[in-house]
Structure 1
């Protein structure tokens, strides 16, 4: 069985971060069609990763997202997507992933091309 991460320090989430929280979130995910893997090793790994992310989710929900630069890029990309006037564009995925990867700015995502006029849709698919 995969070793679970240590619980958060008491001054972090106190008694709010419990197995009951995980059970509640698991039930919500399952109601939305998500399922844990059936293989025990994969299931244990998925639970471990979910518990680790759950702490970040709680803090983000309260307005305290982690200060990791990659997380900041991801948050900026999500914000752009939610507020973009381009939501009906077929090529919005290229702009979103380029922004999430830090390979373009919000302004470039809005324009649809980089500063050197390379269209975001021309970026390699595995990176965009």
Structure 2
């Protein structure tokens, strides 16, 4: 069988790693696994998926939906109740852009560092 790649980590650039890791930890319930300095923080899921957050001086948030500063990546999260999940992420510091291309199927938000992410119903 040919070799297969297994995704084990995703690392996001941001201005404040601890703050962004805390946002995603509270939203997802992933475990905080690295918070040793101001330059890097990380979360892990039970199956080993690792999300890192690294400080970048001069970080520029994506300008979605305008592509002046491209989004470069986004997360999609499946949720049981879109309204409940929306209230959660907004309460944690996310923002909801006016432009919503998903209709009733999904909603777009921006995390506190400006990275777009989507919530979709299950």
Question: Same-fold call, TM > 0.5?
Answer: no
Q: Which has the larger radius of gyration?
A: 1
**Higher helix proportion, which one?**
1
Give the structure with the larger strand fraction: 2
Question: TM-score by structure 1 length?
Answer: 0.23
